[in-house]
Amino acid sequence: MTTTRPRLSEVAALAGVSEKTVSNVINNYPHVTPRTREKVERALSQLKYRVNLSARSLASGRTGFIALAVPGLSNPYFATLAGHVIQAAAAQQWTVLIEQTDGDRNPESEVVGGSTSYLVDGIVLHPESLTSADLAARADSTPLVLLGEKPLNHVADRVVADNVAAAADLARHLLDGGRNRIATIGLDPHSELMASGLRSEGVRTALAEAGRQLDPDLSIGVGSYQRADGAAAMARLLALPEPPDAVICFNDVLAMGALSQLNRSRIAVPEQIAIAGFDDIEEAPFAAPSLTTIKWDTKRIAEEAVRLLAERHGSSEALPQREIVVGYELVVRESTAPVR
C-alpha cells in the first residue's frame, strides 16, 4: 500500500495559516510569532511532513549542510574541534556531516572531489595526505577551508596554528627549568603529517638558541598517535645508556601513554624526567602528575573556518585566498616542575 506524501497546502490548511507562513517556519525565518510557529510545527508533526531537501536546495542555493573531514575522532583534539565546528555551523543554520579520513589519500580525495562535495555548501578539511597539486586540480568549486599547517599554499582558505613557535616555547620552558637532555616522541619521517615535523623544528630552534642540538637517539618516531605508541616510545628512551631528563610528546595522547610507562618503571615525574604534550585534552589536568601542554584555541579555529566558508559561499565575487593564524597558550602544570 502506498501513501501520498503530504503537501505544503495541507499543512497550511490544518494550521490555519498561509503556505508562505509554513515555508517560513520550515526555513527557520525569525519573523514568526511563537504561537504561529507552534501551530505549524504541530501540523507538520501530525501530518508527518518531511522537507524535500532537493527542492529546497534548488530554491535557496543552499543544501543546509557542510562537511568536516578529520583524521580520526578517537583523538580527543579532533573530537573537541568537531564540537566547536557544530556550534559555529549552527549559527549559520548549517548541519555538519563528519567524515573520518584516517589521514589516507583516498578518503580525503573523496571528500573534496567525490560525491560528498556535491551534497554540501562547504568543506572543512584537516589534510594529511593530499598535496597542493591535488587540491589545485579539483574541478569542484565547493568552498573549502583547510586546517593544520601542511604546506598547501594558494589552493584554499586556511586556518592554522603556529606549531614551530609553540614547540619552541615548550622547549624553552624545559630548558629554563634546568633540563639538559630533551627528547621528543612523535616524529615519523615517513608520515605526511606536517604538525610533527613543525613541532620538531620548534624544539630544534629552541635548543639551537641555547647552543645545543637534538640528539638523534632522543627523537623517537611513532606509527600512530595513540597511548600505546607513547608508552612504547618511552620504553625505548628509558632503555638508552643515558635516558633524557625531559620529553616532549607531539600530542597529549602520546604523553598519557608515556606517563603510564614512567609510572610502571617507577620513574619519578617530574623529579627524574619532565614530560609535556600538545592539545590540552580534557584528561591533561587530571593526569598524575597533571600535564604541561600547549593549548590551542580550538573554538576560534572552528569559528574562523565556518566564517570563511560562509563568506565564500555567500559571495558572488571571487575572493582572494585567506589565511588566519590562531594563537595558543603554554599551560604549565606539575609534570614539568623545575629541577631543584
Domains and CATH numbers, the chain: 8-51 (1.10.260.40), 65-161+297-327 (3.40.50.2300), 163-295+330-336 (3.40.50.2300)
What pLDDT does 2 receive?
45
Q: Is the CB of residue 192 less than 8 Å from the CB of residue 128?
A: yes
Please provide residue 248's backbone torsions phi and psi, each rounded to the nearest 5 degrees: -105, 115
Q: Which amino acid is at 71?
A: P
Measured distance CA(109)–CA(179) in Å, rounded: 44
What pLDDT does 46 receive?
87
What pLDDT does 188 receive?
73
What pLDDT does 193 receive?
61
Take residue 297 and report the three cell numbers written for it: 584555541
What pLDDT does 313 receive?
82
Q: Is the CB of residue 251 less than 8 Å from the CB of residue 71?
A: no
Measured distance CA(257)–CA(50) in Å, rounded: 48
Measured distance CA(101)–CA(78) in Å, rounded: 12
Nearest to residue 269, comparing CAs of 282, 281, 278, 260?
Answer: 260
Start-to-end CA span in the chain (Å): 81
Q: Which residues of the chain have pLDDT under 50?
A: 1-2
Full-model pTM? 0.80
